[in-house]
């Protein structure tokens, strides 16, 4: 019998394969991604990270064991700090101010994704919450690794790729996969974990797609 993390990944594999083929990521790797799409992504990711760090803190607080309390609390503080640092420098290079981020607000896909993540982390079982956040780590690592092999001629895009393709991020993701494989989910709960994992993997695809299309509120 394979591990829970493997069963989750296998369920989301078709979506992951479509993520790798998405024009946003192909453009990031070959440098052809329009700046406007990257700008959209970074602004929306600033809003996403605010909710994401709260979700990790929530999972830390709700953990039935000691070690994951420490791990998720550290990730909420450190890992997101690293991402925020990346954002601060990218926002500066893209000439985007904090005011621009506030004025734009969270657009539809960001709102839908963060609302889903927050609801599962707050009201689902602990195992369900872990399964819901796992793609945020794992998909980014795999994308980072894959794009690192291709690299990017654009130094801004290369900086983003290096963060997620780094050995430091790799180690962080391994920790969360190990926690996932120690979850003891009953049959019905495992089914809900599979649903959350595949749903948030879809939201990862949708997040890049929204930036690619420049999706805004229709009314």
Ligand X SMILES: Cc1ncc(CN)c(N)n1
What are the residues binding ligand X (CB under 6 A)? 45, 48, 83, 136, 140, 204, 207
Give 190 or 207: the residue with its C-beta nearer to ligand X. 207
Query: Minimum Å distance from CB 207 to ligand X?
Result: 4
- Please give the Cα distance from 78 to 6 (Å, whole number): 27
Q: Tokens at residue 79, please?
A: 């890992």
List Cβ neighbours of 143 (8 Å cut-off, separation of 6 or more).
Answer: 19, 20, 25, 164
Query: What b/e readout covers 108-134, taking b as 16+ CB neighbours within 10 angstroms?
Result: ebbbebbeebbebbeebbbbbbbbbbb
Based on the residue annotation, tell me whether 162 is a catalytic residue of this protein.
no
Residues 205, 148, 27, CA angle at the centre, nearest 5°? 50
Nearer to ligand X, 83 or 128 (CB): 83
**Which residue number has the CB closest to ligand X?**
136
> What one-character-per-residue DSSP string does 181-211 give?
HT----HHHHHHHHHHHHHHHHHHHHHHHHH
Q: Which helix (H) or strand (E) holds 10?
A: helix 4-20
Query: What minimum distance in Å lies between the beta carbon of 114 and ligand X?
Result: 9
- 136 is known as an active-site residue: yes
Instruction: Count CB-CB contacts under 10 A for residue 183.
Output: 19
How far apart are CB 9 and ligand X at their closest, in Å? Answer: 16
Catalytic pick among 83, 128, 142, 204: 204
Question: Mapping DSSP to helix (H, G, I), strand (E, B) and coil, where does residue 144 land?
Answer: helix
Q: Choose between 115 and 191: whose C-beta lies nearer to ligand X.
A: 115
Candidates 55, 121, 136, 193; catalytic one: 136
Which CB sits closer to ligand X, 151 or 163? Answer: 163
Q: How far is the CB of 48 from ligand X (least distance, A)?
A: 5
Catalytic residue numbers, as ranges: 136, 204
């Amino acid at each position: 019998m394979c591990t829970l993390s493997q069963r989750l990944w296998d369920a989301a594999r078709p979506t992951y394969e479509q993520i790798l083929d998405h024009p946003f990521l192909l453009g990031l790797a070959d440098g052809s991604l329009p700046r406007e799409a990257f700008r959209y992504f970074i602004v929306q990711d600033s809003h996403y990270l605010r909710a994401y760090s709260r979700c990790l803190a929530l999972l830390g607080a709700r953990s039935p064991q000691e070690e994951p309390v420490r791990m998720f609390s550290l990730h909420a503080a450190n890992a997101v700090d690293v991402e925020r640092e990346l954002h601060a420098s990218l926002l500066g290079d893209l000439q985007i101010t904090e005011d621009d981020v506030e004025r734009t607000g969270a657009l539809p896909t960001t709102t839908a994704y963060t609302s889903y993540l927050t609801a599962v982390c707050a009201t689902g079982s602990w195992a369900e919450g872990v399964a819901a956040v796992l793609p945020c780590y794992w998909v980014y690592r795999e994308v980072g690794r894959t794009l690192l092999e291709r690299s990017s001629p654009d130094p801004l895009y290369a900086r983003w790729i290096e963060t997620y393709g780094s050995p430091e991020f790799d180690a962080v993701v391994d920790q969360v996969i190990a926690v996932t494989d120690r979850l003891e989910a009953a049959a019905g709960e495992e089914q809900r974990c599979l649903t959350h994992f595949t749903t948030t993997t879809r939201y990862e695809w949708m997040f890049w797609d929204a930036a690619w299309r420049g999706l805004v509120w229709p009314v």
